[in-house]
Structure 1
Amino acid sequence: MTSLLTQEIRLSKRHEEIVSQRLMLLQRMENKSEDQNKGKASSTQAAKAALQRNVRLLKDIEAAEKSLQTRIHPVLPSEVAALETLYWASVEEYIPKWEQFLLGRALYPASSKNGNEAEDTIQKRAQR
């Protein structure tokens, strides 16, 4: 009987050791889980901050690009813009004639009475 009692006491102590080890492991797991959650939260916060920073940087770059574009290509006065439009219209009008000449399929395009057909066209358009 004493042997059974001794064995019972030994088993009870062993049970208490196992239960205390289990509690320690559960506590460690809980702590590790909390640390992981904190890490995820800080990573998420860092990602959000990086996204906001990138958006601000992109806006700054776009603003700088617009500023540089206006410096490189300033807005032309209306008279200059009108002349440019007339010039390109004249060029488009004469492309077919000159294209054939430059390809060697036609003679030199005939000019008007004063010798400058392109200038006549520009003057006519400017008078309108």
Structure 2
Amino acid sequence: MTSLFAQEIRLSKRHEEILSRRLKLLQQMKSKFGDQNKEKASQIQAAETAFKRNLSLLKDIEAAEKSLQTCIHPLPPPEVVSLETLYWASVEDYLPKWEQFLLGRAPHPIAVETQNEAENTIGNKAQ
């Protein structure tokens, strides 16, 4: 009977040791988990700061690029811009005529206009 009682005491002590180690391990895990959360929060903060810095640098680079572009290719004078606008408007007007000619559905647009102008000039001289 005493051997059973001694064995019970030994098992009880062993159980307490195991519970004590378990509690210690749980505390260590909790501490490590807290440290990981702090580290993760720190990394998130660092990433956000880096993102803001990179965005600022990108804006600065774009501004510098725009500044260099205006230095290299200054804006043309208003007269040139006006002529360019008129040129592209003329191109848009003539585009359908040229498309028909290039598709083989109409005569050469310049030849027709030249012929019409010549007829108008002859007609005006006759009057």
Per-residue deviation, 1:21: 1.0
Per-residue deviation, 1:64: 2.7
Which ranges in structure 1 are unaligned for 5 or more consecutive residues? 114-128
Per-residue deviation, 1:45: 1.4
Per-residue deviation, 1:4: 4.5
Which ranges in structure 2 are unaligned for 5 or more consecutive residues? 119-127
TM-score by length of 1: 0.64
Distance 1:98 1:4 in 2: 113
Match of 2:114 among 106, 110, 116: 110
Per-residue deviation, 1:99: 5.5
Q: Which moved more, 1:31-40 or 1:61-70?
A: 61-70
Per-residue deviation, 1:55: 1.1
Distance 2:5 2:64 in 1: 87
Aligned to 2:30: 30
SS in structure 2 at match of 1:74: coil
Q: Which moved more, 1:92-101 or 1:45-54?
A: 92-101
Per-residue deviation, 1:11: 2.8
Query: Which one scores higher on RCO, CA 8 angstroms, separation ≥ 6?
Result: 1
Q: How many residues in Structure 1 have an aligned counterpart in Structure 2? A: 113
Per-residue deviation, 1:48: 0.7
Per-residue deviation, 1:37: 0.7
Aligned pairs for 1:115-126 within 5 A: none
Aligned pairs for 1:1-128 within 5 A: 2-96=2-96, 105-106=106-107, 108=111, 109-110=113-114, 112=117
Distance 2:102 2:21 in 1: 96
Task: Report the AA paired with residue 78 of structure 1.
Answer: P
TM-score by length of 2: 0.64
Distance 1:50 1:77 in 2: 42
Task: Report the AA paired with residue 68 of structure 2.
Answer: L
Per-residue deviation, 1:94: 4.3
Question: Which structure has more helix as a fraction of its residues?
Answer: 2
